[in-house]
Amino acid sequence: MLLVTTALHETWGKDEEILFLGEWCKTYKDKKIWEKRRYETLPYNWDNREQFFLDVKYLDELYEKILPKLGAKLNEIHKTNHSVKFWRISIGIWLGFFLQILFQRWISIDNATRDYPIKNTVLLSSEKDCQIPNDMADFSNLMLNDLWNYHIFCEILKFQKKINFQYIPSSLNFKKITFKEQKNRFKFGLNFFLIRISNLFYKLSTKKNDLFFIGTYLSLLDEIKLHFRFHQAPKYNKSEFLHEANVNKEMRQWTLDNHATSEFESFINAIIPLQLPAAYLEGYEFLNIKLNNLNWPKFPKLIFTSNSHIYDDLVKFWIASKVDEGSLYVLGQHGGGPLHFVNFQTAHELSTCDCYLSTGSGNNFHNKIIDVGQFFKKKWKHNSNGKGLLIQLVELRYFYNLISIPHSSDFTTYQNEQFQFMKLLRPDIRKDFIVRLNKGSNNLKNMWKDSFPDVTINDGEKSIYHLFSQSKLNVCTYAGTTYNESIAANAPTIIFWNAKYTQMHETSALFFEKLRCVGIFHDTPESAARHINAIWNNINFWWMSREVQEARISFAKQYCYPADNILDRIEHSMRGLIDTANRL
């Protein structure tokens, strides 16, 4: 039996029986190829949710064990003395994602070699340097890419030495998009122009202790007002791309000094130096030059962001350096609504910030969380004579982050439930539905077109708010921003998802139960479709009924209410934080 780890055809052999390592190997566009082969598909390791939660605990502990070791090694290499918190803010999110990815890939191969009679797998010639990420933004693209994942699977297989390799030359292009190509795409955009104008203005208007706001989710007008409330000139803060650093193999001739308690941890010690983003190693000196040339405040009292602290390394390293020097660090909730039961990103945010601004009082289970209300407000009204709108989760073929939503092979179950929902709608209702996909979801687009030719597909080119304004009913199928915005806007909303894969924080259970009792929330596609079939001819009668509105308002107050005094609440939270710090 031949082990196939990705969707790369060149690794599928000729006519051998195949074990696909996961559903991610079998893309819809290639269905006519793989359905003709003799194959089995390895069950997804985290379809067992009890095992998932055990592994979450282990990976949290492993992360806390490795982070200070990696930080100490980088201090040694760069001749610095940064704190563990500095490295947690700057590289922690990459390390967390990377460890989780490696563990899932490792366990998949372990299960495959243990449970199936695998003889060999195909090893393609490749350029290893091209699979080293430049920075976190580059890593976020690579981690969902077949070529990078194939490279990681091969590294695991070579380390384990459990099966044989068939070595064949490859005609695949293993090269990444270069910095020059990225720069050219960015150069002529509006952001580039605004950054240049803003940089000129900064030199004249910035005080060294100004509060710093970037990627806050506030409207431009509200952000300007917030600047004025703190008696400082408003600025347009945007980051820039980092140069593509040249990989230097000699700088990677080391292993992590971490006491390994398993073969997997030994592999971690060996591969981290080989996969560490170049910006953290070869490009670190240039990164520091770029940081020193920023016109941002030298000693900001407080830094506030909601979405620039995950993938933007320039911002992250700047924040880390300022927090090390005493700046306060405030984060706004990404997406809004109840927090997930498992979410590494949220846990990382709470471990690094001084204050976490939440979109409602329902998330106040942590002493850093402060309720300010929904601060990414878009004004729109639903259309009572419009269409139904089904909003779908982006296709997540490869697992990359511990969060309790469908991902990787579980996404197949999620997608089948979307089709089951649409199938159970009355034919006249189905024809009046739009399916909203994320931009670039060609695989899903073709699946929908082939399964339901009479359904309109929106491929993400138009704004979601444009679709909201044309919709009479929003059907939200995953735990993200959209269902919270829809409920907050008092637009007729149906939510459904599979509770096995989508698990929210336990403090929200009572409020979801209230939504369930009035027909807003469902945990099966059958229940959601039945309800829509029953209310379709008079949706507003159902939505505006007393019991539905009471449940909606109760949920909105807890998780997504659009506060009229949002700037008062944010300012009050920030001033309270500054005053407390000044008294210490």
3-state secondary structure (DSSP) of residue 249: helix
Alpha-carbon span 318 to 297, nearest angstrom:
10
**Predicted confidence band at 126 (pLDDT cuts at 50, 70, 90)?**
low
Q: Under 8 Å CB-to-CB from 350, ≥6 apart: which residues?
A: 356, 366, 368, 369
Handedness of CA 306, 307, 310, 315 (dihedral sign): negative
287 occurs within a structural domain: no
Place of tokens 């939270």: 573
What ranges in 143-218 are assigned the alpha helix state H?
Answer: 146-160, 179-187, 190-205
285 occurs within a structural domain: no
3-state secondary structure (DSSP) of residue 494: strand
138 occurs within a structural domain: yes
581: left (phi over 0), alpha (psi -120 to 50) or beta: alpha
Is the pLDDT score of 192 beyond 70?
Answer: no
Is the pLDDT score of 184 beyond 60?
Answer: no
Alpha-carbon span 325 to 317, nearest angstrom:
12
**In the prediction, which pLDDT does 500 show?**
93
Rounded to an integer, the average pLDDT of 262-282 is: 97
Is the pLDDT score of 129 beyond 80?
Answer: no
**In the prediction, which pLDDT does 440 show?**
83
532 shares a domain with 398: yes
Alpha-carbon span 225 to 451, nearest angstrom:
50
288 occurs within a structural domain: no
CATH number of the domain residue 435 falls in: 3.40.50.2000
**Predicted confidence band at 167 (pLDDT cuts at 50, 70, 90)?**
confident
Polymer length of the chain = 584
**In the prediction, which pLDDT does 125 show?**
75
**In the prediction, which pLDDT does 243 show?**
87
Angle at 332 between CA 330 and CA 336, to 5 degrees: 160
228 shares a domain with 117: no
Is the pLDDT score of 528 beyond 50?
Answer: yes
**Predicted confidence band at 556 (pLDDT cuts at 50, 70, 90)?**
very high
259 shares a domain with 236: no
**Predicted confidence band at 194 (pLDDT cuts at 50, 70, 90)?**
low
Facing residues of 3 across strands? 19, 121
284 occurs within a structural domain: no
335 shares a domain with 225: yes
274 shares a domain with 415: no
**Predicted confidence band at 247 (pLDDT cuts at 50, 70, 90)?**
very high
526 occurs within a structural domain: yes
**In the prediction, which pLDDT does 204 show?**
61
Rounded to an integer, the average pLDDT of 439-455 is: 92
Rounded to an integer, the average pLDDT of 36-48 is: 95
Contact 571, 229 (CB under 8 A): yes
C-alpha distances in Å from residue 266, one per residue of 66, 255, 271, 501: 12, 9, 9, 31
DSSP output for 473-487: EEEE-SSSHHHHHHH
**In the prediction, which pLDDT does 183 show?**
45
| Ranges 161-165, 379-383, 515-519, 566-570: which has the least confidence | 379-383
367 shares a domain with 508: no
219 shares a domain with 141: no
Rounded to an integer, the average pLDDT of 78-104 is: 98
325 shares a domain with 229: yes
341 occurs within a structural domain: yes
C-alpha distances in Å from residue 518, one per residue of 319, 363, 512, 521, 556: 45, 23, 10, 8, 15
Crossing angle of helices 566-583 and 220-229, rounded to 10°: 40
416 shares a domain with 305: no
Alpha-carbon span 514 to 548, nearest angstrom:
9
Rounded to an integer, the average pLDDT of 244-271 is: 94
Rounded to an integer, the average pLDDT of 258-271 is: 95
Phi and psi (nearest 5°) for 476? -105, 130
**In the prediction, which pLDDT does 26 show?**
96
Amino acid at 500: K
**In the prediction, which pLDDT does 380 show?**
78
Handedness of CA 463, 464, 465, 466 (dihedral sign): positive
Rounded to an integer, the average pLDDT of 230-257 is: 92
Rounded to an integer, the average pLDDT of 11-21 is: 95
Is the pLDDT score of 46 beyond 70?
Answer: yes
DSSP output for 276-308: S-GGGTTTHHHHHHHHHT--S-SS-SEEEESSS
Percent of the chain whose predicted confidence (pLDDT) is above 90? 80
Angle at 303 between CA 297 and CA 307, to 5 degrees: 120
Quickly count helices (H) and strands (E) in the chain: 22, 16
DSSP tag of 340: B
232 shares a domain with 120: no
Q: How many domains does the chain have?
A: 3
pLDDT, tens digit, for every residue of 388-441?
999 999 988 999 999 999 989 999 999 999 999 999 999 999 999 999 999 888
**Predicted confidence band at 299 (pLDDT cuts at 50, 70, 90)?**
very high
* Closest by CA position to 238, among listed 288, 272, 191: 191
Q: What kind and span of H or E run contains 84?
A: helix 84-115
59 shares a domain with 140: yes
**In the prediction, which pLDDT does 195 show?**
56
419 or 184: which carries more pLDDT confidence?
A: 419
Place of tokens 């566009």: 29
Residue numbers of the domain that contains 323: 179-243+294-377+563-583
Is the pLDDT score of 491 beyond 50?
Answer: yes
3-state secondary structure (DSSP) of residue 518: coil
Give the HSE-up count for residue 273: Cα atoms under 13 Å, Cβ half-sphere: 19
Percent of the chain whose predicted confidence (pLDDT) is above 70? 93
Q: For every residue of 258-277, which 3-state class applies, written as one string?
A: CCCCCHHHHHHHHHHHHHCC
573 occurs within a structural domain: yes
431 shares a domain with 408: yes
* Lateral strand order in the sheet of 18-20: 39-41, 18-20, 2-4, 120-124, 164-168
* Closest by CA position to 272, among listed 71, 108, 111: 71
Alpha-carbon span 232 to 453, nearest angstrom:
56
CATH number of the domain residue 335 falls in: 3.40.50
Is the pLDDT score of 178 beyond 50?
Answer: no
